[in-house]
C-alpha cells in the first residue's frame, strides 16, 4: 500500500471511528447575522433538495500570487506571458489527499451527486436537507424572503470535523445572504431629493467626447471580447439594447446584439442595472464582441457571485475584460471566504483577464458601533487583485468640462487586506500630503486602498423595457465605461501582436496618472456624526481614495499602454 493511501485510511479511521474528537467551526471568525431586509418564512422540509458548494483547499497559492505580479509588471521579463487555464489548474489543483478526503467524507453521508470544474478546487453537490444538516452539525435551514426573492439559508453556525477542516476553505450556500446591490433606484431617489434639477445627461456621445474617443475608436480585432456579469434576477432585453443603439449609437460603428449569454436569461421586466451595464460597455467598447454572464436567481440555494467565479475556472475561452457592479460590506463576510475569492481573482488575472468592480455608492460607508463609528469598506472593491472603479460628476452639469468627485463614490481602506506593494508609494503620498484627513480611528491606514480609477457616474440615459430613462447614477455606470475603454486598448494591443492587459493595477500605479484626467475637487460622504459630519475622504492631486488616479483620457492612456515594451 502506498503512502498516500495509508494517509487517507488513517484520516478516515479517525474521522469515522472517533466521535470523541471535537469538531471545529470552518468560519469561526464570522458571526452569523441575518440582514434586516430578509424575513424568515419557515423551516425547510427534510426531503427538500439543496445545492452546496465545497471550496477545496488549493495548492501553491503563494506561487500563484508571485506569478500574477510577474506577468502584470512591464519591468519583468515575464510580463504578458499569461498562463492557460490548464496551467493554472496544474498549479493550484488540490492535492490528491485533499480531493479524496473530502469526497470520502461526502460519500460517507450518502452525498454522491457532485460536479467539479476543470481546476478541481470546487465541488457542487446536491442533497436533501436532512443529509445536509447531518453533514454539517449545527445548521438548520430556513426559507427567507426579500422583495419577492426566496432564499434557503441557515442562521446557526455549522461544524466540520477537524480531519476534513484542513482540506476545506468554506462551504457555500449555507450562511451567505446576497447583498442588495448598488441600489440604482435608491441612488436615483437621492439624486432627485438632493435638489438636482436639470442636467445635460450622460449618453455615449457625452462620454466619448469627454474621454476623447473619436468615431474611429471602435474595435476591429478578431480575438477581442468583453463581458458583464448579472446577479439577483437582473437581466437585459435584446430589444432594449437595439433601441439604445438606435437612439444613441448613430455616430460610431457598433454592435446591437450580445454575442453570447452564459447562463439562463430570466423572463419579465428587464433590470435597470443589467440594461445599464450592457448598453454602456457596448457603446464605449464599441464594435467589440460582448458576453453576458447571467444567473436568474431561481435556484434558492445558489450563490450567484460564487457561480460566476466557478464559471471562470471552468471555461478555457472567456472574454478579456469583465465588469461587475456587485459588492458586500467587508464586515459581513468571513475572512476565509474573502481570501478564497481573492485566489479566484488571481487565477483570472494570471490568465490575462482584467476584472473591474464598482467601488460602491456609499462613499466611505459607515459602520455604527457602540463606542464610536468607523468607515465601512466594501468587498470585492477592496480586493488587491481587482481594478476598482470610482465615480465623478461634471463640474458644470450643462457642459462637457472637467470632472469633480461624485459624493456617492465608494472608496477607502480595507480592514482585512494589507496595502499591496504596487500602491504603497501613491497612498502614503496622499496620507502625508492631505490635511484634514478623517480621524485615524475611522480607517485602517495600512489597508488596501481603493478605488484605482474612475469615470463619470451620474445622470446616465438608459433604455429599459423599451423606454429611455434618465437620472440613472452610481459606480455601476462608471465601471462598464472604464471596462469598454480597456477593451479598446486591448484591441489595439492585439492588432500589434501584444498580449492582453490582464491585471492592470501594477502598471496603472507605475504610470502615476499618465493618460488620465486628475480629479482634485470634492469629497464623498461617510458617517453622519459629530466627528466627521458626513464627510469621508476628499480628492487631491495624483491618487486619492475617492477617484483613484482619475478618469481616462483615451488617446494618452492608449499610448501609455500600447507603446510599452
Q: Which three cell numbers stand for residue 149?
A: 426573492
Check 65, 121, 233, 277 and give the catalytic one: 277
Q: Which of 121, 217, 233, 273 is catalytic?
A: 273
> Environment class of residue 346 by beta-carbon count within 10 Å: exposed (0-12), middle (13-18) or buried (19+)?
buried
CB 491 within 8 A of CB 224: yes
Instruction: List Cβ neighbours of 330 (8 Å cut-off, separation of 6 or more).
Output: 338, 376, 377, 378, 379, 382, 414, 415, 416
Which residue is catalytic, options 283, 362, 476, 487? 476
Measured between alpha carbons, how far is residue 331 from residues 21, 291, 365, 379 in Å? 31, 32, 12, 9
Distance, CA of 157 to CA of 138 (rounded, Å)? 6
Say if residues 219 and 287 touch (Cβ distance below 8 Å).
yes
Nearest of 428, 415, 408, 435 to residue 546 by alpha carbon: 408
The rounded distance, in Å, linking the Cα atoms of 261 and 428 is 43
DSSP-assigned beta bridge partners for residue 244? none
Q: φ, ψ for residue 125 (rounded to 5)?
A: -120, 140
DSSP per-residue letters across 174-235: SSPPPP--S-HHHHHHHHHHTT------B-HHHHHHHTT--TT-S---TT-EEEEEE-TT--
Residue 37 among the catalytic residues:
no
277 in active site: yes
Residue written as grid cell 461617510: 526
Q: Is 526 a catalytic residue?
A: no
Catalytic residues: 273, 277, 476
Amino acid at each position: 500500500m502506498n503512502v498516500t493511501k495509508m494517509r487517507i485510511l488513517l484520516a478516515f479511521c479517525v474521522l469515522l471511528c472517533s466521535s470523541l474528537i471535537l469538531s471545529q467551526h470552518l468560519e469561526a471568525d464570522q458571526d452569523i447575522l441575518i440582514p434586516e431586509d430578509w424575513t424568515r418564512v419557515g423551516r425547510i422540509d427534510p426531503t427538500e433538495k439543496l445545492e452546496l458548494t465545497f471550496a477545496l483547499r488549493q495548492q501553491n497559492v503563494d506561487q500563484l500570487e508571485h506569478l500574477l505580479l510577474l506577468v502584470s509588471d512591464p519591468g519583468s521579463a515575464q510580463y504578458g506571458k499569461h498562463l492557460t487555464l490548464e496551467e493554472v489548474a496544474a498549479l493550484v489543483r488540490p492535492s490528491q489527499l485533499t480531493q479524496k478526503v473530502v469526497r470520502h467524507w461526502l460519500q460517507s453521508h450518502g452525498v454522491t451527486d457532485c460536479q467539479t470544474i476543470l481546476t478541481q478546487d470546487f465541488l457542487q453537490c446536491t442533497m436533501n436537507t436532512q443529509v445536509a444538516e447531518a453533514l454539517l452539525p449545527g445548521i438548520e435551514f430556513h426559507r427567507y424572503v426579500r422583495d419577492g426573492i426566496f432564499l434557503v439559508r441557515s442562521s446557526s453556525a455549522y461544524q466540520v470535523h477537524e480531519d476534513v477542516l484542513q482540506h476545506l476553505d468554506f462551504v457555500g450556500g449555507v450562511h451567505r445572504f446576497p447583498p442588495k446591490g448598488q441600489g440604482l433606484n435608491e441612488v436615483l431617489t437621492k439624486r432627485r431629493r438632493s435638489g438636482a434639477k436639470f442636467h445635460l445627461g450622460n449618453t455615449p456621445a457625452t462620454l466619448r467626447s469627454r474621454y476623447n474617443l473619436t468615431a474611429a475608436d471602435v474595435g476591429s480585432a478578431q480575438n477581442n471580447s468583453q463581458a458583464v456579469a448579472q446577479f439577483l434576477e437582473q437581466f437585459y432585453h435584446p430589444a432594449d439594447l437595439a433601441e439604445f443603439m438606435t437612439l444613441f449609437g448613430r455616430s460610431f460603428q457598433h454592435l446591437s446584439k450580445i454575442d453570447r449569454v452564459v447562463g439562463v436569461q430570466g423572463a419579465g421586466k428587464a433590470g435597470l442595472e443589467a440594461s445599464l451595464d450592457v448598453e454602456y460597455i457596448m457603446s464605449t467598447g464599441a464594435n467589440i464582441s460582448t458576453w453576458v454572464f447571467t444567473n436568474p436567481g431561481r435556484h434558492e440555494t445558489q450563490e450567484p457571485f460564487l457561480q460566476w467565479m466557478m464559471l471562470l475556472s471552468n471555461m478555457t475561452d472567456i472574454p478579456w475584460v469583465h465588469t461587475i457592479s456587485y459588492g458586500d460590506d467587508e464586515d459581513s463576510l468571513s475572512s476565509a471566504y474573502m481570501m478564497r475569492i481573492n485566489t479566484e481573482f488571481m487565477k483570472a488575472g494570471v490568465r490575462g483577464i482584467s476584472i473591474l468592480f464598482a467601488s460602491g455608492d456609499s462613499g466611505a460607508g459607515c459602520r455604527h458601533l457602540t463606542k464610536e463609528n468607523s468607515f465601512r469598506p466594501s468587498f470585492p472593491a477592496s480586493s488587491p487583485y481587482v481594478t476598482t472603479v470610482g465615480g465623478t460628476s461634471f463640474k458644470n452639469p450643462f457642459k462637457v468640462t472637467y470632472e469633480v468627485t461624485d459624493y456617492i463614490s465608494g472608496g477607502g481602506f480595507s480592514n482585512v487586506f494589507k496595502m499591496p506593494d504596487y500602491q504603497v508609494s501613491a497612498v502614503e503620498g496622499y496620507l502625508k500630503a492631505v490635511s484634514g484627513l478623517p480621524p485615524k480611528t475611522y480607517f485602517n491606514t495600512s489597508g488596501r486602498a481603493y478605488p484605482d480609477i474612475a469615470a463619470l457616474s451620474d445622470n446616465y440615459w438608459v433604455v429599459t423595457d423599451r423606454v429611455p430613462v434618465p437620472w440613472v447614477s452610481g459606480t455601476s455606470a462608471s465601471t462598464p465605461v472604464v471596462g469598454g475603454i480597456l477593451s479598446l486598448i486591448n484591441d489595439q494591443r492585439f492588432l500589434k501582436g501584444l498580449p492582453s492587459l490582464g491585471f492592470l493595477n501594477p502598471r496603472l500605479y507605475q504610470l502615476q496618472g499618465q493618460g488620465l484626467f486628475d480629479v482634485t475637487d470634492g469629497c464623498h460622504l461617510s458617517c453622519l456624526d459629530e466627528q466627521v459630519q458626513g464627510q469621508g475622504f476628499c480628492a487631491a492631486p495624483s491618487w486619492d481614495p475617492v477617484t483613484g488616479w482619475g478618469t481616462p483620457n483615451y488617446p494618452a492612456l492608449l499610448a501609455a499602454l500600447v507603446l510599452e515594451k
